[in-house]
Structures are given as C-alpha cells and as structure tokens.
Amino acid sequence: MRKFPFIAAALLALALPASAQTMSATARLGGGKTVNVNATKSADGAAYIEVALPEGAQKIEGLGDRFLPLKSNGRETTLIAADINGDGVDEIIARAAITSTASAILVYQWDSEQKQFFPALFTDSQDESKPFLFTDQSSVVSIEKNMIVINVTRVDQSGRSAQITERYHWDGDGIKYFEDH
C-alpha cells in the first residue's frame, strides 16, 4: 500500500478512461467523516482500490485481474462500503478474479491510528486465517446485514451437485466462518 498526494490521485482518476472506473462508494470513517473509494481496473493493468483519504490517497493493489460482482440490498455491484463489524465505521468489501475459476473476497478495515485501511482476517471452516477468502468465480456472494453469504454449487466425484450456502460474520477479531447448509 502506498500513499499518493490527494492532488495526484485526483489527476490520476481524471486521466483514466471512463471504462477503467468500475465502481465508486463512500465509506464512513466515524466522527462525521467520509472518504471516496474507487474500484478501478485500467485497460492494461490489474484491479486496485483507491481511497481518497484526507492525508492523501491510499492505493490497495494486488487484488487480481478484474473485479467480480457482489450483491447488496438487492443490487449487484463491485464495491461495497458497509459496517460489517458494528463499530459505526465502514469496511470496504470487494471481490476479484484470481485465476480463471477462483476469486478472492477482500475486506478492508479502517485503522484510525494509522489512518489507512488494512485487510481484515478471514477464518475459514478449517480454522485457517488469511487476509482474503477464496471462492469459485461462479459463486454468488452477498452482503446481508453484517454477514458475508456465499452460495456455491459443489460437484462431488460422482457428478452429483449440491447448492451450499456458507456464512461468515464478524467475531470480534475478524471475519469467521460460522455455518453452511
């Protein structure tokens, strides 16, 4: 993560072609402060998030080849700013293509002392923690209230398929798997 001066970030945003701007959102930092967040993919580069912080732009890189859809409030989008941990400050949520079949769900949490967004940790069903959560690109990922819900079709070795719903919620330290069916 690097910081650029706010003016340079504004000029960069203006210089990008309109097709490069995937989605924008406004994130609440608390104390009545908000910041603009852009999920961007230039025509010849990888996907990244840029946050226009009061101290300068924060660029979050290494997210994958392109952004994939998320659902929130009945709408499909590629970037969500929502308070999933209940502290009154929004987290930034995105999903990016990692391989031709896999995607990563990414959640960035505001650190008021360092004045930047940092990855929140996911703890999966095997109790492993990572700063992202892998899922199939064909999965439907939704943000519902304070949960991340993933609907995925699993196919076993005999060719039978089953629809599985995995749920993740904030557990005080990070985002943790808590059920599927």
In whole numbers, what is the pLDDT of the chain averaged over residues? 86
Radius of gyration of the chain (CA): 17
Residue 88 backbone zone (phi > 0: left; psi -120 to 50: alpha; other: beta): left
Q: What is the pLDDT of residues 121-170, one digit of tens each?
A: 999 888 999 999 999 999 999 999 889 999 988 888 999 999 999 999 99
pLDDT band at 114 (very low <50, low <70, confident <90, very high): very high
**Phi then psi dihedrals of residue 124, to 5 deg:** -85, -175
User: Do residues 93 and 106 touch, judged by C-beta distance below 8 A?
Assistant: yes
Q: What is the pLDDT of residues 69-83, one digit of tens each?
A: 999 988 999 999 999
Given a cut of 60, whether residue 51 has pLDDT beyond it is: yes
Of residues 121, 143, 142, 146, the one with CA closest to residue 133: 121
Cα–Cα dist 37/74, whole Å: 21
For the chain, domain boundaries: 2-180
pLDDT band at 22 (very low <50, low <70, confident <90, very high): low
pLDDT of residue 17: 37
Q: Kindly state the average pLDDT of the residues 32-54.
A: 90
